[in-house]
A and B are shown apart, each in its own frame.
Chain A
Amino acid sequence: MEIPHTVTARPDTGLYNAKLAIWLFLASEVMLFGGLFSAYVFLRMGADDGYWSHGLLNVPVGTLNTIILIASSICVVLAWAALKMRQWGRYKLYLGSTIALGAVFLAIKLGYEYPVKFEHFGAFIKKDKWAAYEQYLGNDYLAKQGLEPRPEITGHLHEVEINVADADAGLLDALIKKRNLEISKSEEEGKVLTVKVHSPWDAEALNKAPGAITNPQEGDPAKWVRKDPGVKMVAFEMALDEVNADPTNSKYDKPSFMPRGLTETVATIKAEDVDTGGWGNFVPKHSPFLAIYYAITALHGLHILGGLVVFTYFFFFSEQLYRRNPEHMANRIEVVGLYWHFVDLVWIFVFPVFYLL
Chain B
Amino acid sequence: MSSTHAAEHAPDHGHGHGHDDHHELGFWQKYIFSQDHKVIGIQYAITGLTFMFLGFCLMMLMRWQLANPGVPVPFFGPLLQTIFTPFGSSVFSNDANGHPGMLTPDGYNTLGAMHGTIMVFFGVVPVAVAAFGNYVMPLQVGAPDMAFPKLNMASYWTFFVSCVIMMSSFFVHGGAAKSGWTSYPPLSVISDSGPGIDPFFNGQTIWLLGMVFNITGSLLGSINTIATIIQLRAPGLTWMRLPFFCWTQLVTGFLLLLAFPPLEAAGFMQLMDRAFGTSFFMPTGLLLNGHLTHWSGGGSPLLWQHLFWFLAHPEVYVLILPAIGMVAEIIANNTRKPLYGYKAMVGGIFVLGFLSFVVWAHHMYMTGMGAKVSGFFQTTTVMISIPSVILVTALLLSLWGGSIRFTVPMLFATAFLPMFGIGGLTGIPLAFNSTDLYLHDTYYVIGHFHYVVAPGTIMAIFAGVYHWYPKATGRMMNEGLGRLHFWLSLIFINGIFFPMFLQGIAGVHRRWYDGGVTYEQIIAPVLHWNNFMSVSAFLLGAAQFIFIFNFFSSMFIGRKVKNDNPWDATTLEWDTPTPPPHGNFIKDIIVYRGPYEYSVPGADKDFTPQSEAPKSDKAATAFPTHALAH
Contacts and interface: CB of A to CB of B under 8 A. Distances in A.
B261 A24 contact: no
A295 B272 contact: yes
B630 A11 contact: yes
B232 A4 contact: yes
Chain A CB within 10 Å, residue with most, of B224, B265, B292: B265
A35 B298 contact: no
B261 A35 contact: yes
B11 A28 contact: no
Contacts of B262: 31-32, 34-35, 38
Chain B CB within 10 Å, residue with most, of A1, A6, A20, A25: A1
B303 A42 contact: yes
Nearest to A288: B298
B29 to A, nearest CB: 14
Given A25-B223, A277-B294, A31 B280 contact: no
A277 B295 contact: yes
A187 interface: no
B6 A32 contact: no
B484 interface: no
A31 B277 contact: no
Interface string B275-310: 011111000100000001111111110110011001
Contacts of B6: 2
B439 interface: no
Interface in B452-507: none
Interface string A254-295: 000000000000000000000111100001111110011001
B231 A15 contact: yes
A48 B227 CA distance: 46
Interface in A155-185: none
B613 to A, nearest CB: 21
Nearest to B291: A276
B630 A21 contact: no
B228 to A, nearest CB: 9
Interface stretch (B109-117, B143-151, B174-182, B325-333): B143-151
A149 to B, nearest CB: 15
Contacts of B307: 35, 38-39
Contacts of B264: 32, 35
Contacts of A2: 6, 10-11, 13, 16-17, 19, 144
B276 A284 contact: yes
B527 interface: no
Interface stretch (B252-260, B388-396, B417-425): B252-260
B626 to A, nearest CB: 8
B219 A3 contact: no
B296 A278 contact: yes
Given A4-B231, A25-B223, A299-B268, A286 B296 contact: yes
| Band of interface residues on B | 35 or more
A310 to B, nearest CB: 15
Contact of A24 (B11, B223, B232, B582): B223
B517 to A, nearest CB: 36
A244 to B, nearest CB: 19
Contact of A5 (B11, B17, B219): B11
A320 interface: no
A36 interface: yes
A276 to B, nearest CB: 4
Interface in A87-119: none
A214 interface: no
Given A3-B11, A276-B294, A292 B280 contact: yes
Interface residues of A, number: 52
Contacts of B151: 21
B147 A21 contact: yes
B226 interface: yes
Given A15-B231, A51-B298, A39 B147 contact: no
Interface in B74-105: none
A276 B282 CA distance: 13
Contact of A1 (B279, B306, B583): B583
A199 to B, nearest CB: 18
A254 B149 CA distance: 55
Given A31-B262, A35-B265, A291 B278 contact: yes
Contacts of A278: 296
A24 B300 CA distance: 31
Nearest to A284: B278
A303 to B, nearest CB: 13
A31 B261 contact: yes
Nearest to B234: A4
Nearest to A31: B261
Contacts of B284: 48
Interface in A212-254: none
A28 B257 contact: yes
Contacts of A288: 278-280, 296, 298-299
A291 B231 contact: no
B149 A3 contact: yes
B604 interface: no
B145 A3 contact: yes
Contacts of B292: 276
A8 interface: yes
A305 B564 CA distance: 50
A10 interface: yes
B629 interface: yes
A295 B268 contact: yes
Chain A CB within 10 Å, residue with most, of B6, B230, B307, B627: B230
Interface of A: 1-8, 10-13, 15-18, 20-21, 24-25, 27-29, 31-36, 38-39, 42-43, 46-48, 51, 124, 275-278, 283-288, 291-292, 295, 299
By Cβ-Cβ distance, the 9 closest A-B pairs, closest first, are: A35-B262, A35-B265, A32-B261, A1-B583, A285-B277, A291-B278, A31-B261, A277-B296, A288-B298
Given A18-B148, A21-B227, A284-B276, 10 more contacts: A6-B11, A10-B630, A27-B257, A28-B219, A31-B257, A32-B262, A38-B307, A39-B265, A46-B300, A277-B277
11 contacts: A8-B12, A11-B629, A16-B231, A20-B230, A20-B231, A28-B222, A31-B261, A38-B262, A42-B303, A276-B294, A285-B296
